[in-house]
Amino acid sequence: MSHNHPHHEEESPHGLLAEYETTEAILAAAERAYSLGYRKMDAYSSVPVEGLAEAMGMKKNLVAPLVFLGGLGGGLTGFFMQWFASVVHYPYDIGGRPLNSWPAFIPVTFELTVLGAASLATFGMLALNGLPKPYNPLFNDANFAARCTTDGYFLCLEADDPKFDLEASRALLAEFHPKSITIVDR
């Protein structure tokens, strides 16, 4: 890679993509790359592979806390709306019954709790995953595009990672007997 090239950014690849044949191999490769300090990397498979995200340092994700906040927000909004309408904004005395008839407000509060939580589960997960993503350079690799969602196990070390070095990274990926290693264009 020529560092003197004026169009350096455009010329540098997106990363190195290795395809492995077994879950064991891709797990070992991902663990090794992470332990060597690689951070900008990801693995791709058509089924979730147990421990693969963890091998790349992802111990937990933010979906559950977001869902909790969504539920809390939905529930509080729901109850407040009904309380405000019935007690403050449009109080109506029906035979001296209490204005804040909270048991009657529970169904709507519950439904809005679920709605808030489920909305954040859906949109929160998509946002954290950076989806929708209209362009992904990995699809420049024909083999990846054909098989990432069928049966391939792919590991990509991205060129933006400070540890990335074309030759050293290639050697690292090669240690775990990949089926192929390709350079992915940006």
Partner 1 sequence: MASIGLPHEGNGHGLVEHAVLEGEHTFESVTEQIGGAVLKRPYEFRWFVGLLIAGGFLSGFIVAITWLLYRGLGIWGINVPVMWAFDITNFVWWIGIGHAGTLISAILLLLKQDWRTSINRFAEAMTLFAVACAGVFPLIHLGRPWLFYWLLPYPNTMGLWAQWRSPLVWDVFAVSTYGTVSLFFWYIGLIPDVATLRDRAQNVFAKYAYGFLALGWTGSAKHWHRYRTAYVLLAGLSTPLVVSVHTVVSFDFSTANMPGWHTTVFPPYFVAGAIYSGFAMVATLMIPLRSWYGMQSFITIKHIDRMAKVMLATGMIVTYGYFVEAFMAWYGGNPYESNQITRERPLGDYAHSYWTLLFCNCTVVQLFWFRWFRTNPLMVWIFSLIINTGMWFERYIIIVVSLHKDFLPSSWSMFHGTVWDYMTFYGTIGLFMTLVFLFVRFLPAVSIAEVRELVHEHSHHHGNGQHGHGAPATSHGATT
E strands along 46-166, which residues? 153-158
Please tell me what DSSP assigns to residue 149: T
Nearer of residues 11 and 151 to partner 1, judged by Cβ: 151
Q: Does 24 participate in binding partner 1 (rule CB under 8 A)?
A: yes
19, 148 Cβ separation under 8 angstroms: no
Tokens standing for residue 186? 């940006």
Rg (CA), the chain: 25
Which of 63, 69, 181, 183: binder of partner 1 (CB under 8 A)? Answer: 63
Q: Using the rule CB under 8 A, is 175 a contact of partner 1?
A: no
Whose Cβ is closer to partner 1: residue 1's or residue 68's?
68
**Nearest residue (CB) to partner 1, 62 versus 168:** 62
108-139 per-residue burial string, b: 16 or more CB within 10 A, e: under 16: ebeebbebbbebbbeebeeeeeeeeeeeebbe
Q: Where are the beta strands (DSSP E) in 60-178?
A: 153-158
- What is the residue type of 134? P
Site for partner 1 in 96-115 (CB under 8 A): 101, 104-105, 107-108, 110-112, 114-115
Q: Enumerate binding residues for partner 1 (CB under 8 A).
A: 21-25, 30, 42-49, 52-53, 56, 58, 61-64, 67, 71, 81-82, 85-86, 89-90, 101, 104-105, 107-108, 110-112, 114-115, 117-119, 121-122, 124-126, 128-129, 131-136, 138, 145-151
